Structures are given as C-alpha cells and as structure tokens.
Structure 1
C-alpha cells in the first residue's frame, strides 16, 4: 500500500469524526521530522511524540513505517528494530521485500502508550560489498495511527494548565476567558498575567483567546479571574468558603460536560493581583481541585538580558547555568553532543578572546581504539581535535579558542567521536561535565527603532525578560472591549517573551501616571480617532504608495519614548476595539512577524507594508572593564610593553611631584635657612 493510500485508510478509521476517537501523527507534520537516514554498521534515531491528557489508549493503534535501504545489504545480518518507551515492539529483516519504500505496520499495545512517548529506530546493517557504506531510510511519510477513548482526567490544581489547554497537544489550542463585570485595573492585570503564563506553557505554539459573557457560550475550558463581585461564578465555586483577605483561591472543575472551569479569585483586587503573579509556578505542588494560594512575595525585577534558554549576560558562565545537569550529555560513537548557546539580538562579541573550557569525563570504552579522536566544532567549523592516543583518563580539561568570526546570536557547540571503528556504536564514551565553561565577553548595541527585532523575543521591550518595566495601555473603551484587548495581547506576550513568569502592568489611558510613562516601555493600544498619548511623526500620505488604502489599515509603530530616551513605545492603532483585536491576531502570525521592518507597518490583509519615518539610532551599553579585559586577553603580548609604559608614567609622575615639592621647600623660609 502506498503512503497516501495507507494514510487515507487510517483517516477513514475515524479521525474525521469525534466519536471514532482516532488521530494520525505523521512524522513530517505534526512531528516536524524529515526522512530519517540511518547510516553505517549501526545507527539509531529517537522519535518523540505525545498523547493528549484525555486520551485512554485502546486496541488498534499502529505504527506505519515506509522503509527503503541499500540494495546490497546482507539480509541475514541486517535488521531494523523498533522500540517504544524502552520496550521492544518488533525487529525485522532488511531484505528485498522492503528495499524500495515498502510499508511495515507494527501494532502498538495500549499499555505501552504514555503521555510522552519515545520511539527508538535502530539498525544493524552490513553490505555484501565491503566498499559500500550501508544505509536505511525511514521516510517522513511514516505515521502513527492512535486509537483511543476520551476520558477526562481527574481535576487537580497541580495539573494546571490542564484542563484549560494541553501543552502536549498537536491541535490548535483555544482558551475561553469569562468577562468580569466592571473589572478593576488589578483584575485586568491579574487576568493578563494568568493568560500570559498559560500562553508561555504552550510556546512557541500559539494560543487563541476568546472572551465570553457566560460559560455556556464557551466551546471548551473556561478561565474566570476576578473577585466575587466581579465574577458571579466565583461565589458559586466557593460554596460558602470564606476568603482570606491576604490570599486567594484556585478551583479546578473538570469537563467536558459542562466545560472545564478554572476559577482564580481573592477577596480584594490587590489580593487577586498578588495571587495571579507566578500562579502556575506556585500551584505545581497543590493537591485537590480546590486550593488556597498564598500571595506571591515581592519579587525583584529580572536582570537585563537574563533570558530563558539563553546564555547569561555575564561574560563567564557554564553548562549548569544553561540548565544542564551531571550525566545529561553523554557522547557515543554514533550520537554526538550538541549544545545550543543563544544570546540576545543586541549582543556584540568583543575582541577575539572567546574560549570554551571543556571538562569531559573519559570512560574506559573510549580507549579501546587509540585511532579515535574527539572533534569539537562551533557552528559547524572545527575549533579543536584531540586524539585518544594522546589523552589520559579520567578527565579531558582543556581550553578551546572560538574565533569571533564564528559567533552568531544562535550558536551550536558540537562534540563528536570520529574514527574509532573498533568502538561500539552506542556505548558511552565520554560525559560532558556541567562545569564546562564559556568565556564570551559581549557589549550590547542595536539600531533602533526596528520592528524586525520584535521577532527576537519581543526585543527591545524584553530586555528585562519578565517585562517588569513594560506597561500595557488600553483605550478608555467599554469594559468588555478593554478586557478582550488585554487577554489577546497577553497571549501574544506570553508566547514571545523570554520568560515563563511575566510582570507587565496594565493601565487604561486615562489612568497612566506621569512617573509611570517616564520609567517604562509602553505598549499603546489605540482605537478610533482619539489623540495619541505620544506625538508621533506626521505621515505624508500622498507620498506613501497606496496611501489612501493604508489609512484604513491598522498601523504598528515603534518610537523612542519622548519621556525617557532609554525607553520605547510600541503603538498599535485601529479604527475600533474589535479591529484592534483582529490586528493583534494578525500580528501574531509568524509570517507577519517575520516580514516586519522599519519603524512603521500597516497590517494589510496581504501582509505588512513597512516603512521608516524616523532615523534609527544606536542604543546599548558597553561594559568597559569587560572590554579592557577581553582586549588584554587577545593582545597578551602587549602586556610587557603596557607594564613598562605604566611604570614609566608612574615614575615620571612621582619624580615630577618630588621635584615640585623640593622647589617649594627651598623657596620657603624654613628651606632658605637650610644649607647643604
């Protein structure tokens, strides 16, 4: 059966209808894999996949593999083995029957399927001609056909963001948020922060947010945030329980009928805001469907450029700082170790003093073949090679220079074992210690404003990763409209910002205080023809191509703040509040975000039309001590000359001072009476 016919047959089993309870996961989409090529005498690849939280696996699930391999494999010694979660499923011979893309169907026992799963495809293959390098390819058209019954799991606060959204699902996720009656500014802020936390758990996948007036209007899990007077369902959920004025409560009610409901409430608006701050972190260990949540203690703002999944801003750091732990990075002959080192988009690498200080525990298996060597590459370019014959156990401790020309905002350090044909393919050979360190001195500079940098984790508004110096300013629109804007923008911030815990503030335009606008980045949402809070450069519509049409399109504009030149303003203007919501959803599309440029963009249906109306300037900071240190490490031969020059300067200065003192002393009356 062809890949297309087999897939259509699987779909016919029931994915098209909810009652049939089946899903098809192709290797290419949604698993994001290409053709899997297994080369050499032995090789292996892992294929992770997830099951949704409310799936209860049943008989009938299958793995469909489309396999092709070298034409001259020795069928008596060549096998492809398939394991699921470390349990063997099947091992079959690689022969003429499966040489040209044949389909192999493997049943998946229901008891072996878990929430997170891992397939292991491994080959042992030998050619009949010794000169040929054997290969086997598992095509990207391969897929999993999963059969299940829907069984909503028990509701518990510790399982958040379930049952609202499922971070492991491959389907688009929609969050329904219950609109409160006359929400206070604190409730707007609390709701925005909770929605942002939920979106961060799904990132980089998008979260669609829909606000509803009643839980009956929702098509899925409902989030209700507010005090009992703002959210009537909270009073019902509390069922007579009294509220602690200093803290809040979280209640989780499972679904699907009626839809799942999560209630976040507190006695006062300020208590609600403190309850929502970092809520998902603080509920991780809470049992049961109803839990009291202590207010979050005051938390210091994030340090500049301390981003999640990125290198620390300081010049020296190690793998432990990147989240790696002991024993996590194990090197085998067929499995290299790759470490991603990301920096902020404004990072500028100083001088040419960059180093990696490797710490590798060398295992006995490595020394079975002295011809092997450990190769180190940075972004694909070789920066080091170490012959096993020249190594001594138990550790390899060495410094590797990384040329500045190889450094990028996203870097990959790779260690692999080359040669060593006598070594076992999958036996551990070395372990990279989390004490492996990096010396990457950096300055920070960017030409701003530049809308293109928003795609880089919402830079420059995310210099502090938690957005603690960002204020969302919503128009003085009706409560429901303002609430919908906060929810939609919060979902986008949660997906883009480089932190799981966001601390942005929310203000209505009429409530923004002068000291706030001068100390924070501003995200201005403007509806209608009301005058903007910011005096933006005037646009000459007659000179813009299609200027008449552009007037009706939502406009996105980034400007330096007129109240603080180290802060920025991002304006999104549309004809009405509903049009602003549509514009935010359009802006969240990856294709739109990737095409932004300049400082002004009109969000047309066919894509953004981008222009520059102000001159870009350089913004950033240069750590002078780091610059001097990096220069000295790069030009260390200049140290003796520098030391002599400094000593000579000090000697001349001291000698001149002493001469002046002697002259003044001799000119004094006391000095005049002295005769040598």
Structure 2
C-alpha cells in the first residue's frame, strides 16, 4: 500500500526526517481552481494564510481568462494527505535550531497540470517560546522555495501556510521540504533546548487539479507496463479482466502468471483487480485486460480500430492469413478512438499462443524487446529455476559475505560506503532479512569497519549497533583527530535475527567544544562525520530448520515462493470456478508475485480433476473455493479446527452448526501426500466469506497479521470499506495436530534442538537415565559378588 518512494539525503546542520506517503483513492473536490498570482499575508484569530507564487505574475488577456475558466470546469481534483503516512501519525515534529522534513511524491504520466493547479496547505503549531523575528517556516519543492511564514503564533495556536506550486518545478519524482529555523532568543539560542519545536499537523495536504491527457500516443510496448500500470500514479491502478465465455485450465494459468508478474511491477503500490462480463461495464479510469483466444473472448470481435483483423474465431496477420496457432499476440489499444480506458489484449489462435504471450510479459529480458502497438511472440525460452534458498531480497546463501553483497537497500545495486554528519546524525540502516527457514545458532558475528572525522569529544562520542531496536554492540570514538577504518566485532544474537530484521548503526557524535551561552559560542556540528564501509563483513552460523504449518511465514511467501519463480507451487480451483473464485486466484497470484523476484514465472493452476498425481505429491498447493465445491477436501479433514462442511464446524473440543456463517478462513496444513509440503486452504461457506479472504490477501495491514495455522475473518458491516483498519476482525487458532519440520541439519544439532524444544522433559530424562545406570551398576555388582562367593 505504500505508494511513494523514500528520500534519504542528509542535512548538514540537523536531523532530516524522511518518510513516504500512503496513497488511497482520490477525494474529488468541487471547489474552483485558484489561479491567483498575488503574494499576500492574512492574519486572523487562529490561522496564518500565505498565498505565495514563486514565479512573477504575468499579464493575461481576457480571452485567456475565459479559456482558463472553461478549462477549470474540466479539472479533476486529487488530494494527497500527509496523514496517510504511518510515520507522520498524529503530527510530525521538527526539533532544534534548524530542522527539516521531506516527503516524496510522484507526478502521474497522464496528468496535465497548468499554472495555479497545485497547492500545498501546511498546517502547523510551534513552541510559544520561539522568538518570532528570528523563527520561520519555509516550504521548498525540489530544492526551490515556494513560500515562507514567520513562526509568530501565540499560545501554540494553529497556523496555516498556503502556497502555490508551479508545475514547471515538478518532475517524475519530487520532494516537498519543510524547513524550520527556530530561535528562542534575540541574541543567543541553545541548539539543544527542548523549547525549539514545530509540529506539522497530519491534516496538511497537497491538492492537484489536472486534466487527463489522451493515452493514444503512449500505446507502445516499449513503455510497458504503462499504460496498464503507472508506477508514478497517485491513485490506485484499477485492473479489470474481461471474463471469458468458458474458463479453461490454460486460461487460469495464463491469467495467474500475468497477475503475478503485475504484482512484481506493483511491489508496494496498491492494485485493485476486478472482472467485467463485457466492455459496457468498463470505466474510463480502468485498465482492461482481455486474455484468451477469440473463441474464449467474443469481445475481441466487437472492438473497433484494432491494428489486426479478427475473422470469426481466428486472428489474421497483415497479409490476412490466420496467425499460426503456436504464435502469441499482444495488442495495446483503447476503448475510444480519442481516449478512454487502455486495453491490453493477450491472445492467440490457441491456448499455447496465449500462454506464450502471457509468459512474454512475465520475463524481464524478453519484455524489453517489445515495441510498437502489436507484438508477435514466436519463441519463449524457458528460464532456469533458481535455487530454493536464492532470494534476492534476503541474506545471501553463503554464511560469509560482505556488506557490499547485500542488494536489499539499494534497488538491487551493491551497498556502497555510507557517510552521515552532524551531532544528531540519523542511523545508517541495513536490511538484514534472514531467509524464512533459517535457524541461527550461537557464534554469528558482524565485523563493522567504520571511520570518523576529527573535532569530536572522545568522552561523549560513540558508535552503536542495534538490531531491530535492541542494542547489540558499540565502542567509544576515542581519538579527537579522527580515525580511518576502525574495526568493531559485534555478536549477532541468534534469537533476534528474523526475516524482517534491520541493522542500525548510530554515530553519536558531539563536538569537542561545548556550547557557551555567555559568549554565544555554538559548537560547530556540520564537520562531525561518520562512515560505514562496504567491506564490513558478516560470518553467520545458521542451518535450515523450520516447523510447518505456520501462517506467520506466509507473510514472506514461505514456502510458496521457494523457489522464487513459483515452480514449486500449484493453485487448485473448482471445476467450474465462479467469478469470486477467479478473483481470489488473481489476488493470491498477485501477492505471491509481490513476495518474489526472479527472471521467470512458472506458477501453475489446475482444477481438481486435472491435477496430476505427481504435482499433488511434489508441490505446495493452494486450494480455493467455497466448501460445497472445495477442490481439496482432504485439507479440511485434518485434526484441529475445521469447517468440516458448509455451515458446520468441528474441532477436538466439539462440533457446532452455524446457519449464518459469513466468515472466511485461511488454513495451512501439512500436505497429506508429502510431509515436506503444505496445503493452503482459502475457503468459506459463502461467496461473501471468500470475499473477506480476498481482502485480507489484498491489504497489507491485514495480511501482515497472519500467524498460527488457522485464521477466521469476519466483519460486522455488510459492505466494509477495504481501507478501514477496523473493517475486519481476525481470530487465530493454533491447534493443528499434524506438523512437520523441514530441515537440513547434523544429528548433533537435531539432538540439541530437541533438548531446547523439550527442556521441561530434561529433568525426567536425567532421573530416568540415572535409574537405568543405577540398575546396570547393581546388576554388575551382584555378578561380581556371586562370582567371588563361588570361588
């Protein structure tokens, strides 16, 4: 759901707070666009409003004013609210004599922005101790000032800074910066004073008013995934599949692979997926996917102005000959000649051709070859399946590696030396994600290589290392002349390293000279620097060992995304899947795509009748459907809590009937056909319950809560809002009687783990072993005494 990017530039004089927006569907406004070129200040009881324009006013004619007035009626409004970011929370506080915070936002490709159509409203409060003549709040966009106001409110009254942002200032990726210069005295200010603060309130916002540009000039596969998916979009990308006349297994597999690849494009950005029976139900804001042969998709013959002709159930090439059945066809078009919704057609004259076209879009190396409005796919080379433990976003498979080998933080690029500066320098953060099946043992360590500059105070300066907020090591910075490439060995606690771990290296640097208020001498802080070197090394002690079933590991995709091309996962559908079944398939495919990274896509979909015995035994299975036609009923017959049949529930404690069961269930069990594999059941008694399962898979805040082995999903509202954090209630169960451990360890390690897992039995074992040894000794003594008597 996080729709925007992080910015990590470090201020020389103060701590820079960096965060990202969370974007939700836009709020439409009816207010008329502001085109004022004036710069004025209005002061009222509770507000300070500043209308500022960074560029000088220009003379306009009456005709231009009339044209602008007409354009204003066509403008669409979008509000980007600060409170969508969890880091902002209730407020964003700027502390210190000089402080700034930055927010990143994008400019969608199809937005046409005119002068006076972008406005930022910054609402703030500040400390009553600030001295107004020497304190101010300034707003910058991409480093260029767009407005400023003095911090002169009494008794912390709320102020409002309203600024116009010229469209010429914007790029694809942008940042808005709020800078607070704060002083509490006319002569001398202590930079460490707690009275130096300004809060940016969460109801601050940026309002855009725009016109949609036609996408006809952008219908080119060299831009793919645009216009089907816009990574610069501020609104949710809405994907609509046209439902085929008949749902075959081949169509399900191609649709699932396409959606998983789209999930990889989306990454953290929100994506809404729906289905329509025909083009009449499609809106101009949708992105339409028509996947299947002309026989499966009669809608193809109804589309006008296609670059290829469709005759009956055959696609013809430019020579009016039928395209070979093993050739895939990709077409970009739109619902209207002068605009409308973009359409992606993934087709061919056979299921094999459709599969080739869908696979082309899922393989990065092939996809780069596309250009123009039409692409014919003749050959798709099968990609090599990566190793099961080769995950690009996690720690390397090797136990010894360098920090430069981690490509998690830097967009799949090697980690480079990182330098921070200032007395309040922010931490250097390193994603340290263990593989989900890693089990760490004692002895793992980090050999931190760091440097720091001169002019520090050795008595109060240090470097510290934290793992997920837990202090794990540190050292004093002992030389006021600075040191280069110092080494610090830090032990990595085995019980703290998880698949979501983060290392933080703090440089706590204080200047050698202290603040002198009498002479107003402030310690220089910008020259204080600390650096972490990329050849910092790690030596891990770990083994492969994990207990299944465990839905908590599902947050990271395990075991379904091992290997990362999804070749070990198969989705099983009812024989005649409903629209809700298909949408759930697309949702789980998208989620698995978001959680994996590879060159290819080998996810397969089968119905119960077409599922081969070899795949049933070899792969992890995902079963989807309501209980009346659930494709793998064996998954719901395991011990523990189960929906035994429609509107019936059972567990070890008893059985009940629930005639009004509207809940959904996510359950993971050990596969009945392979103890090293699992079956994930996405089930419900009704379609409304299965819809709740789909929403949990779609929304990060709910999906990240998964744990135990069974989840029941309910809602007290008939039509809950998908973005409401309280819309659904999750109940967790851990009562699976059958479990399995997937491991690759030594016998000694197995014995050690067995003792650790069952330490309460250790005293009983010691007593039992002592009794056995005592009996053996007694028998031996009796034999000795018997032998002596006979002599």
TM-score, normalised to structure 2, is: 0.68
Instruction: Tell me, in whole angstroms, the C-alpha distance in 1 between the residues paired with 2:526 and 2:112.
Output: 34
| Match among 241, 250, 272 for residue 330 of structure 2 | 250
Tell whether 2:619 aligns with 1:562: no
Partner of 1:101: 158
1:42/1:247 Cα in 2 relative to 1: closer, same or farther (>3 Å)? farther
| Match among 303, 308, 313 for residue 238 of structure 1 | 308
Deviations 1:139-179 (A, max 9, x none): 22221122222214422223333222334434343211122
Instruction: Tell me, in whole angstroms, the C-alpha distance in 1 between the residues paired with 2:419 and 2:376.
Output: 43
Partner of 2:31: 13
Deviations 1:418-466 (A, max 9, x none): 2334786667934544433333332343432234443x12333333333
1:479/1:593 Cα in 2 relative to 1: closer, same or farther (>3 Å)? closer
Tell whether 2:427 aligns with 1:336: yes
1:470/1:107 Cα in 2 relative to 1: closer, same or farther (>3 Å)? same
Is contact 1:340-1:411 (8 Å) kept?
yes
Tell whether 2:100 aligns with 1:44: yes
| Match among 16, 23, 33 for residue 78 of structure 2 | 23
Is contact 1:537-1:613 (8 Å) kept?
no
Partner of 1:225: 291
Give the CA deviation at 1:470.
0.7
Instruction: Tell me, in whole angstroms, the C-alpha distance in 2 between the residues paired with 1:320 and 1:529.
Output: 53
Instruction: Tell me, in whole angstroms, the C-alpha distance in 2 between the residues paired with 1:10 and 1:181.
Output: 36
Instruction: Tell me, in whole angstroms, the C-alpha distance in 1 between the residues paired with 2:600 and 2:577.
Output: 28
Is contact 2:140-2:178 (8 Å) kept?
yes
1:141/1:195 Cα in 2 relative to 1: closer, same or farther (>3 Å)? same
Unaligned runs of 5+ in 2: 1-26, 34-71, 310-315, 514-522, 717-728, 754-791
Instruction: Tell me, in whole angstroms, the C-alpha distance in 1 between the residues paired with 2:587 and 2:739.
Output: 31
Give the CA deviation at 1:478.
6.0
1:592/1:138 Cα in 2 relative to 1: closer, same or farther (>3 Å)? closer
Instruction: Tell me, in whole angstroms, the C-alpha distance in 2 between the residues paired with 1:596 and 1:550.
Output: 25
Give the CA deviation at 1:367.
2.2
Is contact 2:474-2:488 (8 Å) kept?
no
Is contact 2:278-2:299 (8 Å) kept?
no
Aligned ranges for residues 43-82 of structure 1 at < 5 Å?
43-60=99-116, 61-82=118-139
| Match among 737, 740, 746 for residue 615 of structure 1 | 737
Instruction: Tell me, in whole angstroms, the C-alpha distance in 2 between the residues paired with 1:160 and 1:67.
Output: 41
| Match among 543, 548, 560 for residue 658 of structure 2 | 548
Instruction: Tell me, in whole angstroms, the C-alpha distance in 2 between the residues paired with 1:360 and 1:294.
Output: 53
Instruction: Tell me, in whole angstroms, the C-alpha distance in 2 between the residues paired with 1:162 and 1:232.
Output: 25
| Match among 681, 684, 700 for residue 571 of structure 1 | 681
Three-state SS of the structure 2 residue aligned to 1:58 is coil
Is contact 1:447-1:616 (8 Å) kept?
no
Is contact 2:574-2:608 (8 Å) kept?
yes
Three-state SS of the structure 1 residue aligned to 2:83 is coil
Larger mean CA deviation between 259-268 and 91-100 belongs to 91-100
Three-state SS of the structure 1 residue aligned to 2:395 is coil
Unaligned runs of 5+ in 1: 1-8, 632-676
Three-state SS of the structure 1 residue aligned to 2:405 is helix
Aligned ranges for residues 348-367 of structure 1 at < 5 Å?
348-351=439-442, 353-360=443-450, 366-367=453-454
1:402/1:568 Cα in 2 relative to 1: closer, same or farther (>3 Å)? closer
Partner of 2:183: 126
Give the CA deviation at 1:47.
0.8
Instruction: Tell me, in whole angstroms, the C-alpha distance in 2 between the residues paired with 1:221 and 1:528.
Output: 32
Partner of 2:235: 171
Tell whether 2:510 aligns with 1:420: yes
1:554/1:18 Cα in 2 relative to 1: closer, same or farther (>3 Å)? farther
Three-state SS of the structure 2 residue aligned to 1:584 is helix
Is contact 2:556-2:595 (8 Å) kept?
yes
Three-state SS of the structure 2 residue aligned to 1:262 is strand
The structure with higher relative contact order (CA 8 Å, sep 6+) is 1
Partner of 1:201: 265
Is contact 1:200-1:500 (8 Å) kept?
no
Instruction: Tell me, in whole angstroms, the C-alpha distance in 2 between the residues paired with 1:14 and 1:303.
Output: 58
Aligned ranges for residues 591-610 of structure 1 at < 5 Å?
593=703, 598-606=708-716, 607-610=729-732
Partner of 1:515: 614
Tell whether 2:231 aligns with 1:137: no
Partner of 1:462: 561
Partner of 2:88: 33
| Match among 115, 119, 141 for residue 84 of structure 1 | 141
Instruction: Tell me, in whole angstroms, the C-alpha distance in 2 between the residues paired with 1:625 and 1:296.
Output: 45
Instruction: Tell me, in whole angstroms, the C-alpha distance in 2 between the residues paired with 1:577 and 1:377.
Output: 47
Partner of 1:529: 628
Give the CA deviation at 1:123.
3.5
Instruction: Tell me, in whole angstroms, the C-alpha distance in 2 between the residues paired with 1:484 and 1:163.
Output: 22
1:603/1:36 Cα in 2 relative to 1: closer, same or farther (>3 Å)? closer
| Match among 365, 373, 383 for residue 289 of structure 1 | 373
Is contact 2:626-2:684 (8 Å) kept?
yes
Three-state SS of the structure 2 residue aligned to 1:389 is coil
Three-state SS of the structure 2 residue aligned to 1:67 is strand
Give the CA deviation at 1:469.
0.5
Tell whether 2:220 aligns with 1:162: no
Partner of 1:657: none
Instruction: Tell me, in whole angstroms, the C-alpha distance in 2 between the residues paired with 1:373 and 1:168.
Output: 41
Instruction: Tell me, in whole angstroms, the C-alpha distance in 1 between the residues paired with 2:295 and 2:28.
Output: 51
Give the CA deviation at 1:568.
0.9
Partner of 2:341: 259
Instruction: Tell me, in whole angstroms, the C-alpha distance in 2 between the residues paired with 1:420 and 1:583.
Output: 52
Instruction: Tell me, in whole angstroms, the C-alpha distance in 2 between the residues paired with 1:326 and 1:601.
Output: 39
Give the CA deviation at 1:472.
0.7
Give the CA deviation at 1:111.
0.9
| Match among 504, 521, 542 for residue 603 of structure 2 | 504
Deviations 1:587-631 (A, max 9, x none): 545565456555444544454555455315341314449979x99
Give the CA deviation at 1:387.
1.0
Partner of 1:150: 212
Is contact 2:334-2:341 (8 Å) kept?
yes
Judging by fraction of residues, say which structure has more helix.
1
Give the CA deviation at 1:48.
0.7
Is contact 1:338-1:414 (8 Å) kept?
yes
Give the CA deviation at 1:255.
6.3
1:391/1:181 Cα in 2 relative to 1: closer, same or farther (>3 Å)? farther
Partner of 1:662: none
1:250/1:75 Cα in 2 relative to 1: closer, same or farther (>3 Å)? same
**How many residues align structurally?**
616
| Match among 440, 443, 447 for residue 540 of structure 2 | 440
Three-state SS of the structure 1 residue aligned to 2:105 is strand
1:127/1:554 Cα in 2 relative to 1: closer, same or farther (>3 Å)? closer
Three-state SS of the structure 2 residue aligned to 1:511 is coil
Is contact 2:670-2:738 (8 Å) kept?
no
1:168/1:546 Cα in 2 relative to 1: closer, same or farther (>3 Å)? farther
Three-state SS of the structure 1 residue aligned to 2:426 is coil
